[in-house]
Amino acid sequence: MGTAQRWWRRGLTAAAAISVGLLALGAPAQAEDDAQVYVVHGIPDQPVDVYVDSELTLEGFQPGEVAGPLALPAGTYSIALTAPGDGPENAIVAADVDVPGGENVSLVAHLTEGGDPTLTAFVNDVSEVPAGEARLTVRHTAAAPAVDVRADGEALVTDLTNPNEATAQVPAGTVSAEVLLAGTDEVVIGPADLELTEGALTVVYAIGSADAGTLSLVVQVIEHDGMPGTPSGVPGGSAGLAATGLPMWWFGLLAAGALMVAGGALWYRRSAGVTASQ
pLDDT attached to residue 224: 55
Residue-wise pLDDT tens digits, 34-75:
999 999 999 999 999 999 999 999 999 999 999 999 899 999
pLDDT at residue 93 is higher than 90:
yes
pLDDT at residue 24 is higher than 80:
no
pLDDT attached to residue 230: 41
b/e sequence 72-103, b meaning 16+ C-beta within 10 Å: beeeebbbbbbeeeeebeebebbbebebeeeb
**How far is the C-alpha of 234 from the C-alpha of 71, rounded, in Å?**
11
Residue-wise pLDDT tens digits, 168-210:
999 999 999 999 999 999 999 999 999 999 999 999 999 999 9
Put the strands of the sheet holding 154-160 in their side by side order.
154-160, 147-151, 173-181, 187-196
Q: Reduced to 3 states, what is the DSSP secondary structure of residue 89?
A: helix
pLDDT attached to residue 79: 95
pLDDT attached to residue 188: 95
pLDDT at residue 8 is higher than 50:
no
Domain ranges of the chain: 35-222
pLDDT attached to residue 237: 29
Residue-wise pLDDT tens digits, 99-109:
999 999 999 99
**How far is the C-alpha of 180 from the C-alpha of 174, rounded, in Å?**
20
Mean pLDDT score across all residues of the chain: 78
Range list of H helices, the chain: 3-26, 248-277
DSSP state for residue 63 in the 8-state scheme: T
Residue-wise pLDDT tens digits, 121-143:
999 999 999 999 999 999 999 99
Res. 116 pLDDT band, cuts 50 70 90: very high
Rounded to two decimals, what is the model's pTM?
A: 0.71
Res. 1 pLDDT band, cuts 50 70 90: low
pLDDT attached to residue 33: 85
For range 3-17, the mean pLDDT:
45
Residue-wise pLDDT tens digits, 210-245:
999 999 999 999 985 543 444 333 332 223 333 223
pLDDT at residue 26 is higher than 50:
no
pLDDT attached to residue 260: 46
